[in-house]
Structure 1
Amino acid sequence: MSTEKKTLTILNETIAPGESKEVNFDVANLHTSTPVNIPVIIERSKKEGPIVLFTAGIHGDEVNGVEIVRQLVAKGINKPKRGTIICMPVINIFGFINLSREFPDGRDLNRVFPGSPKGSLASRVAFKLIHEIIPHVDYIMDFHTGGSGRFNAPQVRIIKDDIELKQLAKIFGAPFVLYSKNLNKSFRNTCQKLNKPLLLFEGGKSFHIDDVVTNSGVNGAKRILKHFGMLNSNFKTSKPKKDCVFIKEGRWVRAKYSGMFKPFISLNAFVEKGDLLGNITDPYGKLNYFVKSPNSGYIINVNEAPIVYQGDALFHISTVLNDKN
């Protein structure tokens, strides 16, 4: 772990030890020429220590991740006992303003990293993040949510065979840890190539704020900060009620028919093969199809949409657990 220098210069702003500063991560104005400010909130202790970055809002519709980082700031959890904490609650401010997952040009920010200074708007934001912020940090926690209508159980996603990330995921203490490959041109993949450890948190669904998901994210962040000796003594942490379940593989249960959908099973539940998960009906009372579990496992995602089409993902269920945690 590296420790910070006496002075820290980010986005042409110098932040001294013990100083708090909000700097502007600006890339482009709105089409009305209105300036768009993306605040970067920096809190430094007088004591040396690691530099931790909290990010959210890479997708503009994932407001629960924004709420988690907002609470870290509002409650003062981001004021470190040692080291530096950097918070970027809304990276894709353009999508957040437009209530959209993507940028105004239709591009997904999480598919254009490491970006280009002369590329699309999304690509320019990615480039600036990677070149202006990431070189200064030691650890990153990136907060996301599930897609439209599909509610994710609070979970941390890491790649296999990374001992450090595995340890940090255990400390974070989300109910589930999923082993998943880094997607090409994603923020997580780019940070890995730069040897910047990143924990990706998923929980909830788009355009929705859930207290359980929020608490899981905030409590996990506090545990990580305590592990680094950075959590202010004003805050306490508690152990998770249950140990993390590490999931090596999972599968989606998809709709066999189009119709009106109602899940029977709750998120986080463990089901046996053949258990009833939900049913699909039609508006005319002719169809009543019962969705059954194809295998035993944990339910880590539930589709909460009342209307589904044939092939839509209904449930994400674990198939292979990692018993050697």
Structure 2
Amino acid sequence: MRGMTDLGPLSLSPVMKPADPPGEPLPGIIKTKVFKEEDYINMPWKNGLGGTKQIAIHPHTADFETEEFIWRLALSEVRDSCSFSVFPGYDIALLLLPEDERDGSASVKNTVHLRRGSLTSPVALHHNDQATAVPLRPLTPYTYSGEWPTSCKIRTGPMRHLTFIANRELTRVTATLETICLHGLHDDGECSDSDEAVHKAPGEVNGTKKDATGNGNGTALPLGDECKNPMNGNVNKLLIGNYSIVYVVSGAVRVTIEGTLEPHTVLAGQTLVCERDDDSSPTDLAMTPLRKDGRAFEKESEHQDATVLIIQVNILRPERRRHSSLSDVSSFSQARPRGRSGSIIVYDDQPLPPLAGIDGDTAASSAARAVAGPSSPTSTIPMRSWDSARHYKPPVFSSRFKNESEVPPAVVRDQLIIDEFPVGAISTVWINMVKQGLSEWLRIPVIVARGKEEGPVVGITAVVHGNELNGVPCIHRVISDIDVSTLKGTVVAVPCINVPGYLRYTREFSDGKDLNRMFPGSPTGTASQIYAYNIMEKVVGHFNYLIDLHTASFGRVNSYYVRSDMNDAASAAMAKLQQPQVILHNSGQDGALRSAAMTRNIKAITVEIGNPQQLQNQYVQWSYQGVMRILSWLNMFQLDPADLAPAAGPPSSTILCSKGYWIYTKTGGVLEVYPSVNTVVRKGDLIARIKNIFGNIVDEVYAPGSGVTIGRSSNPVAMAGDRVLHMGVIKREGEVLAREAKENY
């Protein structure tokens, strides 16, 4: 026996069909099922880097993408370097498989022929972003904690591996890798060619042959009636866990389980799962080698070794297994819906929840009454009572319930050359921008999703201002929802343009300049100009379309609105597909990234999605939906209507503004701004007051014209000349939009 390892508390998930009608299993009953390869559930990765076939999962009704599970066994093929999903609370065991000699496909022929004990390592894992690699060797089980962020580097060709995932608190798992030989094993662990070749001292105990684990077999089980000369190449195991899993790596075996009517024939690539009730006594399992076609050997010259992985899973909490048989396990796991349900943060432009009186006999109500005190009918101050504290509801399941990998580890390049990246796959890359003070490269992150068919190149950029972050999760969701197998063209996402500002939590670039007023930049200008120039030359210049994601800056809040040159048909269509609250006609000519792109005939819009230095789920959802509508409009991606459910839909109407302008303060003080964003204001309305520090009103600000509030100040501390309100002038019917429309930033 070689390759034995104790996987510790693990959890796997078999997909088994009930052999009996639903109900409570009878004590001592043993259920078995052989899963053939056509029974495995195919789960291709949307990033095109590989695919997974789910062999079995427990509970058998569990949906891997939406529900908790106890254990799961899967077979994966990884075609390129990738990142594995994290599984907090689980342990993960990997077994790198040798080349599948049963299959003559091109993918297999290109696979390096792996043998157990090979000194070369075609695959390496990196945990927790550490530089030190952990080599994976063929047929050597490797276990690691599911909490560790892990990337996989493929050195030579695609790889195939088994993945066993187990819940650390609910299971104990052991795994052994057995070599089953016709004539047993030498003392060096290699298969013997004949009975006489086996060394007696290590191979026999009181005249009986040892099995692969080194334990005496007693008597050998016959191979079948058709075998005239029974042979002794058997392996016996004692099953004590709730689940026993036998995966045949190579060869074929006949498995006989005590208490079952007939033995099972399991061929290479097939899996036998055995379930035992808690009340079952230890069960004997015996395996004998067969021919590749599953028939017994008729003569010794046909003999073939078999390599088998045996996993035993013991469930630790029987009280949670009341219905954990193959027939009914629904009590363990309840489905939890995926998706976003709306903003989790209340802002001043969102209504507060209704107030309620402190009534009832609950403990919370009693505590609230104690705080509020007795009400008095003669009190001149009305008492308002709040509902008791709300119960926290955790978010939906994380990405660990998606297929193994979303984006792979990044490579480094001097510029973006899309043709260098594989079609039908998602790639990540660091692009060298400029040298910083240590004479090391300052790089920006880029994600490239290339479809299998030709099509346009759409760029999505975020964090041109270092504190404007809502675009980052928008990009993450777009990339995670794109299936490159159906994508036409290429999506290039840059989740952080202004890396120095992002790291310093500031809007500006490292030289203190507003980067979004420096485009298209200059190769010999200031630091921000050179950086802007390289952004255009190395990345943005390869786009056909650009969606630039922004938010308000510090001290301001925004509506969900879009800046676009509405005289350009393609840009106007992109703006409308975002379905924002406001569209602001702006022709550019202001040093912004959008303006520089339009100068190069790259159709572009700027999407303003909420407020700075925070993540707002509702705004992220709206912008994500808008980007997906644009990709669908360009015939690049088929939009799933489920992603645009009414509950998460965009604003119901859009206001088109022919121009916009800011209203500024004339004096300093404590600023109170009254209109919320996305609110229609009439000319002459009082929109703000300024008080001195003692509370006296020193100035009042009135709307100089009618319009809609696009953004507003949220900072009460105002200097003379600070911003108050961003007003949009609503386009009149029949009005012709100006050829050049700018704003007083």
User: Shorter-chain TM-score: what band?
Assistant: 0.7 to 0.9
Gaps of at least 5 residues in structure 2 are: 1-414, 736-745
**Number of the residue aligned with 1:98:** 504
* Counterparts of 1:223 and 1:171, CA distance in 2: 6
Paired residue for 2:667, among 253, 257, 265?
A: 257
> How far apart are 1:151 and its partner, in Å?
1.4
Q: Letter of the aligned partner of 1:269 in structure 2? A: T
> How far apart are 1:324 and its partner, in Å?
5.2
Paired residue for 1:48, among 427, 438, 454?
A: 454
* Counterparts of 2:446 and 2:723, CA distance in 1: 36
Residue range with higher mean Cα deviation, 251-260 or 192-201: 251-260
Q: 1:110 to 1:160 in 2, by over 3 A?
A: same
* Counterparts of 1:310 and 1:222, CA distance in 2: 43
Following superposition of structure 1 onto structure 2, how do residues 1-325 of structure 1 map, counting pairs within 5 Å?
10-11=416-417, 14-32=420-438, 36-73=442-479, 75-77=480-482, 79=484, 81-234=487-640, 236-237=643-644, 240-287=650-697, 289-323=699-733
* Counterparts of 2:672 and 2:555, CA distance in 1: 12
Residue range with higher mean Cα deviation, 203-212 or 176-185: 203-212
Assess if the C-alpha contact under 8 Å between 2:558 and 2:610 holds in 1: yes
* 3-state SS of paired residue (2:709): strand
Residue range with higher mean Cα deviation, 18-27 or 78-87: 78-87
Q: 1:310 to 1:81 in 2, by over 3 A?
A: same
Assess if the C-alpha contact under 8 Å between 1:11 and 1:23 holds in 2: no
* 3-state SS of paired residue (1:178): strand
Between structures 1 and 2, the one with greater helix share: 1
* 3-state SS of paired residue (2:561): strand
* 3-state SS of paired residue (2:461): strand
Assess if the C-alpha contact under 8 Å between 1:256 and 1:311 holds in 2: yes
> How far apart are 1:55 and its partner, in Å?
0.5
* 3-state SS of paired residue (2:540): helix
- Deviation sequence 1:32-87 (CA, Å, 0-9, x none): 456544211001111222111100111212222334323333x4348563211110
Q: 1:210 to 1:277 in 2, by over 3 A?
A: farther
> How far apart are 1:175 and its partner, in Å?
1.0
- Deviation sequence 1:120-140 (CA, Å, 0-9, x none): 433333222222223432111
Residue range with higher mean Cα deviation, 174-183 or 251-260: 251-260
- Deviation sequence 1:218-244 (CA, Å, 0-9, x none): 121121112122335556336644232
**Number of the residue aligned with 1:5:** none
- Deviation sequence 1:262-282 (CA, Å, 0-9, x none): 222211011223333233222
* Counterparts of 2:675 and 2:469, CA distance in 1: 25
Q: 1:286 to 1:103 in 2, by over 3 A?
A: closer
Q: 1:264 to 1:116 in 2, by over 3 A?
A: closer
* 3-state SS of paired residue (1:198): strand
Q: 1:263 to 1:211 in 2, by over 3 A?
A: farther
* Counterparts of 2:660 and 2:465, CA distance in 1: 24
Q: 1:272 to 1:114 in 2, by over 3 A?
A: closer
* 3-state SS of paired residue (2:481): coil
Assess if the C-alpha contact under 8 Å between 1:13 and 1:23 holds in 2: no
* 3-state SS of paired residue (2:534): helix
- Deviation sequence 1:4-48 (CA, Å, 0-9, x none): xxxxx9348711321221122112354345654421100111122
> How far apart are 1:299 and its partner, in Å?
1.0
Aligned residues: 316
Q: Letter of the aligned partner of 1:50 in structure 2? A: P
Q: 1:101 to 1:240 in 2, by over 3 A?
A: closer
* Counterparts of 1:172 and 1:71, CA distance in 2: 16
> How far apart are 1:322 and its partner, in Å?
4.4
* Counterparts of 2:516 and 2:695, CA distance in 1: 43
Residue range with higher mean Cα deviation, 243-252 or 91-100: 243-252
* Counterparts of 1:191 and 1:143, CA distance in 2: 14
- Deviation sequence 1:115-164 (CA, Å, 0-9, x none): 33444433333222222223432111001122321212111111242122
Q: 1:290 to 1:210 in 2, by over 3 A?
A: farther
Q: 1:111 to 1:256 in 2, by over 3 A?
A: closer
* 3-state SS of paired residue (2:726): strand
* Counterparts of 1:12 and 1:268, CA distance in 2: 40
Q: Letter of the aligned partner of 1:276 in structure 2? A: L
Structure number with higher relative contact order (C-alpha < 8 Å, ≥ 6 residues apart): 1
> How far apart are 1:195 and its partner, in Å?
0.7
Assess if the C-alpha contact under 8 Å between 2:458 and 2:543 holds in 1: yes
Residue range with higher mean Cα deviation, 148-157 or 281-290: 281-290
> How far apart are 1:210 and its partner, in Å?
2.8
* Counterparts of 1:296 and 1:40, CA distance in 2: 43
Using the size of structure 2 for normalisation, the TM-score is: 0.40
